[in-house]
Structure 1
Amino acid sequence: MSGIARRLYRGEVNVDFVGRQKLWYSLSGILLLISVAGLLFNGLNLGVEFKGGSVFSFKAPTATIEQVRGTFAESGAHQVIAQTTQNGWRVTTESLPAERVSAVQKAVANEFELRQNDVTLQVIGASWGGQVADKAIIGLIVFMLAIILYLTMAFEWKMALAAVVALLHDLVITAGVYAWSGFEVTPATLLGFLTILGYSLYDAVVVFDMIKEVTAKLGTTSKMTYTEAANNALNHTLIRSLNTTLVAILPVAAILFIGTTLFGAGTLKDLSLSLFVGMIVGTYSSLCVATPLLVTLKEREPRYQAIARRLSSHGTSGAKAAARQPVTAGAAGGAGGTGGTTTAGRGGATRAATPSGDKRKKR
């Protein structure tokens, strides 16, 4: 494992991401189909902020979740969602009339030996959640337009299209996870959705920057097709993408799996699940969705079709040579966004120096 890690870090591992685009498209299609099915059949478990309802809060350290749910159900409340927090119990029901609220408070007080005033009530209207959802949709549209404009100016419209498709891919799959898991969708969840957009875009821009640098040198005498050059650039940024994801996902996983189980941080759970899923899917989409889609679009250009026909007619390919080419310090810097160049490798320099060295020996 350590040997593979060192080879991966030095850019010596050449994974054919682009060549397996049918595999990635099939996998993404299956994930999208499952996600859409979950959204259609299960739907999202919208929180009280979106559909409105009554929220009861009280302290009962010895109570169990079955007791709490049973008490609310017997008093006439439906759609009971009970959660433990640092301040006690938080139970959400549908919107209840005033007489039903009084009956619920009385039943809870009698069951857990509390005063009726100790069972507090908060009534939330659905209009507030609707306003949050509307603002989130507006923010999403503005974000997408800004992405298209920036990537079109910094790179080209085909890269912008590939990045937007990858972002929509990430959003649908993340929403599908919420649909199948039954996790409650709250305003914090929407915040997490908007956050993963930025993360996914960052990963895609890093990959596209390296692809732009490597493919800019392709000409009529090039020994690599656009597909091979893009795959070469993708492998050179692979370790950076994996390291970035690992470092970012560790604290999110700690919040999701440790914070929510030990400390009962309900709001953080809603946020951390969207971040956890979105980061994983975002890394996958930048490597296996955005880049293959970009290559599919670029290979249709006459310039790169001519290169592919010439190499095919000669029976040559630069894929294996590209896999053996090391990345210089300049190229590594380019992967990090600081700019740099890739060279033809040390082998070419050695062959160029050999004839002059032979002449000196003969003299």
Structure 2
Amino acid sequence: MSKLGNIGAKLHRGEISYDFVGHRKIWFGVSIALVAISLIGLFARGLALGIEFKGGVEYQANVKVTDNTVSDFTAAVKATNAQDLGDPVVATIGTDKVRVQTRPLSQDDIAKVRTAIAQEAGVQPDQVSNSQIGASWGEQIANKALWALGVFLFLVFLVIWAYFREPKASMAALIALVHDVLITIGVYALIGFDVTPATVIGVLTILGYSLYDTVVVFDKVRENTRGITGSNRFTYSDAANLAVNQTVVRSINTTLIALMPVGSILVVGTAVLGTGPLKDLSLALFVGIAVGAYSSVFIAPALLAVFKEREPGMQALRRRVLARRGATLTTASGTPIPAAAGAAAGAGAGGGATVVAESARPQDRPKSTRAGATGTTPAATSRPKSSASSGRPQPSRKPRSKRGK
């Protein structure tokens, strides 16, 4: 078995672990920073909407692409002085084609720009293709995309609620999905890639991928927390953290396998083709898959644990677990509180009391916090002898040859 496979097996058995849920403040801080940067980029720079959304005219012509192709065609189009031309968007497609996009123009101005492009490319005007896209059509596409996103999120909430019978799981999953969408859109705003219908398809696709990974983790959480209120061994957060450790290697493997082909498509679409739906689709998929894997491991389970730990039953369970472990609690001012007093004071999830020491009894702690988590194996103990037989001779049977007839 490989080294990663051994680590995965130990994580699944609880022999080693990392406190993902316990360090949730760090992950929440990282996510808040990423979302803030994305929103700043979105409002400061805005999205570079493609012609499908804002409308306009698109021209394409065959030409041998050089280092000056973009600047030459830009100058040629501007020289037409077409009304409401604005700044044309010129891009190369591979090594033998150029694409020019402008604002909506009149028929006369469309003909003038087409002629200028043909002269610069050294071809006849009828060899330059052009297509018009109205702004109203682009607005309809944008509205349909928003409707699709809203319907998707609503159905996701209902499906997760029905599957786990837990609305808090739906809330945690939706927050993670919104987190993924905001960061992906923010990357588009910061990089300046065009937002096209292919981008919308990519965003909807990564939502499904992120949701799939989150549901796998939540299913393991449900398995670990089944009947948890009837036990005093570990809290809901402990069980959720164990579930993350049991699935983290699988999440890493599936994410890397998914990112490799998408990354190849992104490189080909950007470096070789230069533009087109492949580039727009692959960027959304690459960013979304990476961010979705991050949220499925670090954000969604921690949010679920926070929501569940606020329930009175889970708070009572936490107090019982701390009392059983013999933990020493401290208030916010640092004053020590005995375990029994801490239970009465409400040492719930985030209730103002924190654990600073635990009993050395490994059997009272979850697998993820036992001595095996430090990399050492507890010493084997021999089976004790029965007290009833100690100090008392045991009967011995005579050989068959000496027994009485």
Structure with a larger share of its residues in helix: 1
- Residue 179 of structure 1: aligned partner: 189
Secondary structure (helix, strand or coil) at the match of 1:178 reads helix
- Return the alpha-carbon distance in structure 1 between the equivalents of residues 386 and 97 of structure 2: 82
1:242-321 paired onto structure 2 within 5 Å: 242-264=252-274, 266-313=276-323, 314-315=326-327, 316=358, 321=367
Which of 80, 100, 103 aligns to 2:88? It is 80
Measured against aligned partners, the alpha-carbon deviations of 1:195-230 in whole angstroms (never above 9, x if no partner) come to 111011001100000000001142344211111111
Q: Is the 8 A contact 1:167 1:197 kept in 2?
A: yes
Q: Offset at 1:62?
A: 4.1
Is 1:7 the equivalent of 2:44? no
1:105-184 paired onto structure 2 within 5 Å: 105-155=114-164, 156-184=166-194
Secondary structure (helix, strand or coil) at the match of 2:232 reads coil
| Residues 1:163 and 1:360: Cα distance change in structure 2 (over 3 Å) | farther
- Residue 97 of structure 1: aligned partner: 106
- Residue 383 of structure 2: aligned partner: 354
Amino acid aligned to 2:229: G
Secondary structure (helix, strand or coil) at the match of 2:146 reads helix
Measured against aligned partners, the alpha-carbon deviations of 1:31-77 in whole angstroms (never above 9, x if no partner) come to 11111111111111100011100101101114522222222222234
| Residues 1:94 and 1:321: Cα distance change in structure 2 (over 3 Å) | same
Unaligned ranges ≥5, structure 1:
327-345
RMSD: 2.7
Unaligned ranges ≥5, structure 2:
328-357, 395-405
Amino acid aligned to 2:88: V
Secondary structure (helix, strand or coil) at the match of 2:87 reads coil
Q: Offset at 1:101?
A: 1.8
- Return the alpha-carbon distance in structure 2 between the equivalents of residues 290 and 24 of structure 1: 11
Q: Normalising by structure 2, what TM-score? A: 0.77
Secondary structure (helix, strand or coil) at the match of 1:55 reads strand
Aligned length: 341
> Greater Rg, structure 1 or structure 2?
2
Is 1:17 the equivalent of 2:28? no
Is 1:225 the equivalent of 2:235? yes
Q: Normalising by structure 1, what TM-score? A: 0.86
- Return the alpha-carbon distance in structure 2 between the equivalents of residues 53 and 259 of structure 1: 23
Amino acid aligned to 1:42: R
Q: Offset at 1:303?
A: 1.9
| Residues 1:153 and 1:320: Cα distance change in structure 2 (over 3 Å) | closer
Measured against aligned partners, the alpha-carbon deviations of 1:245-266 in whole angstroms (never above 9, x if no partner) come to 1111111101001343124452
Report sequence identity in percent: 41
Q: Offset at 1:281?
A: 0.7
Q: Is the 8 A contact 2:17 2:369 kept in 1?
A: yes
Q: Is the 8 A contact 2:234 2:366 kept in 1?
A: no
Q: Is the 8 A contact 2:308 2:314 kept in 1?
A: yes
Q: Offset at 1:102?
A: 2.0
- Residue 341 of structure 2: aligned partner: none
Which of 318, 322, 326 aligns to 2:368? It is 322
- Residue 333 of structure 2: aligned partner: none
Amino acid aligned to 1:95: P
- Return the alpha-carbon distance in structure 1 between the equivalents of residues 259 and 120 of structure 2: 43
Amino acid aligned to 1:109: A
Q: Is the 8 A contact 1:228 1:319 kept in 2?
A: no
- Return the alpha-carbon distance in structure 2 between the equivalents of residues 358 and 51 of structure 1: 87
1:203-218 paired onto structure 2 within 5 Å: 203-218=213-228
Q: Offset at 1:13?
A: 3.8
Q: Is the 8 A contact 1:9 1:239 kept in 2?
A: no
1:58-73 paired onto structure 2 within 5 Å: 58-63=61-66, 64-73=69-78
Secondary structure (helix, strand or coil) at the match of 2:131 reads strand
Q: Offset at 1:153?
A: 1.3
Q: Offset at 1:132?
A: 1.8
Select between 273-282 and 113-122 the one with higher mean Cα deviation.
Answer: 113-122
